[in-house]
Amino acid sequence: MKLNVGGMDRILRIVLGLALIGMTLVGTIGVWGWLGVVPLATGAIGWCPPYAIFGFSTCSTKE
């Protein structure tokens, strides 16, 4: 599995995922906030299935 989620993208995914989960736990938003697990997981792992399917990557290329 080749990483396809770069630095800033990973940070934004993790922050968004934690924010959604946190707001769900506090009761600010409904149950749909548990979808924050998806960006949290893809940010933590560094791999996104749709990016792989469409051949997209936000990782910087090293030569």
Q: Tens digit of pLDDT for each residue in 9-61?
A: 999 999 999 999 999 999 999 999 999 999 999 999 999 999 999 999 999 87
Contacts of 1 (CB under 8 A, 6+ apart): 47
Residue 62 has pLDDT above 70, yes or no: no
Predicted TM-score of the model (pTM)? 0.88
The total number of residues written for the chain in this structure: 63
Give the angle subtended at the CA of 17 by the CAs of 11 and 22, to the nearest 5°.
125
